[in-house]
Amino acid sequence: MKIKIDIYSGFLGAGKTFLMKKLITEGAYENNIAIIENEFGEVSIDAAILRESNIEVKEINSGCICCQVTGDFKSAILEVIKEYKPDRIIVEPSGVAKLTDIVKVFNAESLNEKVVIDNIITVIDPEKFNSYIENFKEFYENQIINAKKIVLSRTQKLNSQDLGDIISRIKRLNKEAIIITDEWSKLEGKFILENNHLEASKYEAINIKGSKLNKAKLSKRIEEHKKADEIFETFAIYPKAKISKLELISKFKFISSSKTYGDVLRAKGIVTLLDGSNGQFDFVKDEFQIREIKNESKSVISFIGIKLNKDQLKSLFK
């Protein structure tokens, strides 16, 4: 019997790691699973999040699946199969990976005899839809067009008209995908995996003028037909000092409002707070969230962006 593969795609900060954790924590998956994490960068924050669920995580940190580490990724799959003999492998590629390149790896002769793709799930934050499709059209559309299921995150933040407009635009790109719009706190994990015959949407196409959805533009629009490593860059810093939540929020507000640091699209990390606890935070263009994380003592902040000013960022967090 072939090993089933589930792929969780989604652009930067969409929420795919937390969707995976929700499904695992709620028992939506059988026990014998393995997860392969692929980070665009030198450190993995998502692996630390998933380890809270007592899940074995294999990390690949030398690049994204779609550009530099296709060979390593294929080897990682074969190694996981040999070492853990899972019934299912869950793959979370980098947020800047193209689904077509990931699927191509599984179609390779050395793998297609051993595995079969079961779910291809793309997570979309509808608040960021306009901004991402404007600035990263090729990468973003690729993740939508090639998905079997599309799960929208943070839908409670949008009114029905704005949400309906986004769903209509998604359907124009992918008419076949199942689109799940339920608020995650009210959604059972098994519902996402088991429902294969949902109506795509209950919303009609609506054209909205003056929408308040995020339409932020970068300083320079991204050229098409570029590889991820030709566009995006990443680096990490390792703060030694403790920091307060308020100071951390203040620093990222400053990053968001200034071009001094380059176009910081995404930042995530684990920091030691003033009370000695560890905080895991996520930053995506004007949005910042932090929560307590257990069993992690190493402070690290990972940035993804375009033309990052690394010296200025290091100075800000020294």
pLDDT of 51 > 60? The answer is no
pLDDT of 143 > 90? The answer is yes
The answer on 158 and 85 residing in a single domain is yes
pLDDT of 225 > 80? The answer is no
The answer on 88 and 182 residing in a single domain is yes
pLDDT tens-digit map of 299-312? 889 898 889 999 99
39 inside domain? yes
Confidence band for 35, pLDDT divided at 50, 70 and 90: confident
Interatomic CA distance for residues 284 and 213, integer angstroms: 14
Range of the domain at 264: 232-316
> What is the model's pLDDT at position 203?
31
CATH of the domain at 244: 3.30.1220.10
The answer on 184 and 252 residing in a single domain is no
> What is the model's pLDDT at position 294?
79
> What is the model's pLDDT at position 285?
75
Q: Which residue, of 142, 170, 194, is where some domain finishes?
A: 194
pLDDT of 268 > 70? The answer is yes
Percentage with pLDDT > 70 across the chain: 77
Task: Name the more confident of 196 and 85.
Answer: 85
130 inside domain? yes
> What is the model's pLDDT at position 142?
95
Range in 26-30, 99-103, 205-209, 242-246 with the lowest mean pLDDT:
205-209
Confidence band for 272, pLDDT divided at 50, 70 and 90: very high
Q: Which residue, of 194, 216, 248, is where some domain finishes?
A: 194
Which of 32-41, 126-135, 197-206 is most confident? 126-135
Domains in the chain, number: 2
Q: Which residue, of 139, 170, 194, is where some domain finishes?
A: 194
123 inside domain? yes
The answer on 155 and 236 residing in a single domain is no
The answer on 175 and 27 residing in a single domain is yes
Interatomic CA distance for residues 109 and 115, integer angstroms: 10
The answer on 260 and 187 residing in a single domain is no
CATH of the domain at 51: 3.40.50.300
The answer on 171 and 312 residing in a single domain is no
pLDDT tens-digit map of 60-116? 443 333 222 334 778 878 888 888 788 888 888 888 888 998 898 888 888 989 999
The answer on 246 and 190 residing in a single domain is no
What is the torsional sign of CA 60, 63, 66, 71?
Answer: negative
Average pLDDT, the chain: 79
The answer on 19 and 144 residing in a single domain is yes
Interatomic CA distance for residues 243 and 204, integer angstroms: 47
pLDDT tens-digit map of 11-25? 988 998 889 888 988
216 inside domain? no
208 inside domain? no
The answer on 186 and 237 residing in a single domain is no
The answer on 145 and 45 residing in a single domain is yes
222 inside domain? no
3-state secondary structure 221-288: CCCCCCCHHHHCEEEEECCCCCECHHHHHHHHHHHHHCCCCCEEEEEEEEEEECCCCEEEEEEECCEE
205 inside domain? no
